[in-house]
């Protein structure tokens, strides 16, 4: 879990992607803390996001609400579109790859994205495995519903974790459920003896050393963002109050009435998540929120969070 031991000297520090240490990968996630990462589908939206104060953007072809509505196989975006966005903004640019699709990840690394999201929002490419992420120089973020899933992803090399709330619904309930589950399991781990932890590691199907580290830290060993279903400043602040380090907003911004205004409001809400007066101010007069889908009304097969293993 610690750095891979390749401390680069200044003379040899030019980019050899395979040499990026875990500290460098996890370090960028630490720089994103307290910030909002916004889904964008073109350079124009990326500019709006940057002007709103986004700390990074996620470049993808269709926001999750459209993927949900249009169906079909959702894949990595056109590299040309991602490169346009990278040229347009100076903040970090992330992009999504399908679960287990090693080659999509290689392509995203080759074009120089700052983070790869191995994401359940796209159609999974591997029925059993996630990408072995530690071999890549570019860092990865992955979704989780519980502590076991989070620690499996970290063991594979993920340098950042997010909840796996139901993307494209505008319903925050699943993100809340995942954060609650992770928090509850960390609390349980923190009050466990070593032998209880070994049993818990078997139960959660995760690495014992990582579980032990989590128990000692009383938090995940990497940055943990909220994602999935965040549609309002209040949703974003709710996730921050539950202990998230920052927030991804997907369809919630560019599927709403006044995207620029809502984007700014969510940025302010994440900084001032504990100040109800500021939250009241920024929540006022935002226009229409995205049309929501009640997660309880979704068939099992329509639930994206179930993807991933």
Partner 1 sequence: MTLAIGVLALQGAFAEHIQLLRRAVAEASVSAPLQGSTAESIGFEFVEVRTPGELARCAALIIPGGESTSIALIAERTGLLEPLRDFVKVQRKPVWGTCAGLILLAESANKTKATGQDLIGGLDVRVHRNYFGRQVESFEADLDLPFLGEDAGTFHSVFIRAPVVEKVLSASLPVDHTEDMVTAPARKATAAPVEILARLPGRARALRDRSTTAEDLGEDGDIVAVRQGNVFGTAFHPELTDDARIHAWWLQQVVNSTVI
How many Å apart are CA 108 and CA 86, to the nearest integer? Answer: 12
Rounded to a whole number of angstroms, the minimum distance from the CB of residue 261 to partner 1 is 12
Strands 56-59 and 93-98: parallel
How many Å apart are CA 35 and CA 42, to the nearest integer? Answer: 21
* Closer residue to partner 1 in complex, CB, 56/238: 56
How many Å apart are CA 30 and CA 246, to the nearest integer? Answer: 10
- Spatial CA neighbour of 127 closest among 309, 299, 4, 3: 309
- Spatial CA neighbour of 114 closest among 46, 176, 48, 193: 46
Q: Which of 38, 41, 82, 92 binds partner 1 (CB under 8 A)?
A: 92
Q: Which of 2, 15, 128, 284 binds partner 1 (CB under 8 A)?
A: 15
Residue 181 CB neighbour total at 10 angstroms: 18
Q: Which of 25, 96, 164, 255 is catalytic?
A: 96
* Closer residue to partner 1 in complex, CB, 35/170: 35
How many Å apart are CA 179 and CA 239, to the nearest integer? Answer: 8
Which stretches of the chain are DSSP H helices?
A: 22-32, 43-52, 64-70, 79-88, 102-111, 147-155, 173-190, 194-204, 208-217, 233-241, 251-254, 259-271, 276-283
For this structure, is 218 an active site residue? no
Residue 11 touches partner 1, criterion: CB under 8 A: yes
Residue 114 touches partner 1, criterion: CB under 8 A: yes
Rounded to a whole number of angstroms, the minimum distance from the CB of residue 277 to partner 1 is 11
Residue 80 touches partner 1, criterion: CB under 8 A: no
Residue 112 touches partner 1, criterion: CB under 8 A: yes
* Segment interacting with partner 1, rule: CB under 8 A, options 21-29, 60-68, 166-174, 231-239: 21-29
Rounded to a whole number of angstroms, the minimum distance from the CB of residue 5 to partner 1 is 11
Residue 271 touches partner 1, criterion: CB under 8 A: yes
Rounded to a whole number of angstroms, the minimum distance from the CB of residue 192 to partner 1 is 24
Q: Which of 55, 186, 201, 247 binds partner 1 (CB under 8 A)?
A: 55
Residue 52 touches partner 1, criterion: CB under 8 A: yes
How many Å apart are CA 59 and CA 63, to the nearest integer? Answer: 9
Enumerate the β-bridge partners of residue 204: none
Number of residues that bind partner 1 (CB under 8 A): 51
Those residues with Cβ within 8 angstroms of residue 72's Cβ, 6 or more apart along the chain or in another chain: none
* Residues near partner 1 (CB under 8 A): 3, 7-11, 13-15, 17, 20-21, 23-24, 27-28, 30-35, 47, 50-56, 86, 88-92, 109, 112-115, 137-139, 264, 267-268, 270-272, 275
User: Could you list the active site residues?
Assistant: 96
């Amino acid at each position: 879990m610690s750095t891979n031991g390749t401390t680069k000297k200044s003379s040899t520090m030019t980019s050899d992607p395979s040499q990026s240490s875990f500290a460098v990968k996890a370090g960028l996630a630490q720089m994103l803390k307290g910030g909002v990462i916004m889904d964008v589908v073109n350079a124009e939206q990326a500019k709006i996001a940057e002007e709103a104060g986004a700390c990074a953007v996620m470049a993808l072809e269709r926001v999750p609400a459209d993927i949900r509505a249009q169906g079909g196989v959702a894949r990595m975006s056109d590299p040309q579109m991602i490169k346009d966005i990278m040229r347009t903004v100076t903040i970090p640019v992330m992009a999504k790859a399908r679960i287990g699709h090693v080659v999509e990840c290689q392509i995203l690394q080759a074009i120089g994205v700052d983070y790869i999201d191995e994401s359940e929002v796209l159609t999974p490419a591997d029925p059993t495995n996630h990408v072995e992420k530690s071999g890549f120089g570019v860092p990865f973020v992955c979704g989780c519903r519980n502590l076991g899933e989070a620690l499996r992803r970290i063991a594979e090399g993920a340098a950042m974790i997010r909840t796996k709330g139901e993307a494209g619904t505008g319903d925050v309930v699943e993100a809340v459920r995942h954060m609650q589950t992770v928090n509850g399991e960390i609390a349980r781990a923190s009050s466990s003896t070593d032998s209880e932890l070994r049993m818990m590691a078997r139960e959660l199907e995760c690495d014992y050393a990582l579980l032990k580290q989590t128990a000692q830290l009383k938090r995940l060993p990497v940055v943990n963002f909220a994602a999935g279903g965040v549609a309002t400043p209040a949703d974003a602040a709710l996730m921050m109050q539950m202990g998230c380090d920052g927030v991804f907003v997907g369809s919630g911004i560019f599927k709403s009435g006044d995207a620029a205004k809502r984007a700014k409001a969510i940025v302010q809400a994440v900084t001032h998540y504990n100040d109800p007066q500021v939250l009241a101010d920024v929540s006022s007069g935002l226009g229409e929120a995205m049309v929501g889908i009640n997660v309880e009304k979704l068939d099992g097969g329509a639930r994206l969070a179930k993807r991933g293993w």
